[in-house]
Amino acid sequence: IKSAISVLLATVIAVSVNCMAYADGEQAELTAAEPSDQYEELLSSDKIGFYCNTATGEISVTDKKTGLVYTSNPNGAADNEALKGTARTAAQSQLILTLSDKQGNQTVINSLVESVNRDGLTVFKNKDLVKLTYKVPNYPIEIPVAYRIDGERFISEIPVGEIVSEDKELSVLISSG
């Protein structure tokens, strides 16, 4: 790691087909989103299609054999009235970061509010790889998420050696939205 941050990696991508979310005791059914015209196909093989909304970081993976579509975010999360506050923004986020300082103080942030909505998302693409980097302007950290297709496998990973942090005392727990 470029700095002395401690990184605990949890799930990088939450691929949801159907899920249930709870907010203030209410139950809200969320279903997988179909790729729309806001998604661009960035990687493809004869078996897998990888699509991304490069403005939001939302992704979609299509199994071309079965037609199944897996998405990083549930359909309708932004407009679902049963989802409130952090539950709503978490459902729209790709990463949830728990930042801890050396005194043990914790701050939980998400990629939608602290990166995407602050123009902190950048996209790099070549023929074999897509990398979305979430720069968090209010906190001294940048976290890349790399996507690639390898035969019949779709691979999502955080290249830990590419995480950038100015705070050498910061501990970061990364989980999916």
Lowest mean pLDDT among 9-13, 153-157, 163-167, 170-174: 9-13
HSE toward the beta carbon, residue 29, CA cutoff 13 A: 2
* One-letter identity of residue 162: E
Q: How far apart are CA 51 and CA 35, in angstroms?
A: 7
Q: Is 62 exposed, middle or buried (0-12, 13-18, 19+ CB in 10 A)?
A: buried
Higher pLDDT pick, 25 / 122: 122
Edge-to-edge strands of the sheet including 95-100? Answer: 6-9, 171-176, 95-100, 106-110
Three-class secondary structure of residue 85 per DSSP = helix
Q: What is the pTM of this model?
A: 0.78
Summarised one tens digit per residue, pLDDT across range 104-134 is 899 999 999 999 999 999 999 999 999 999 9
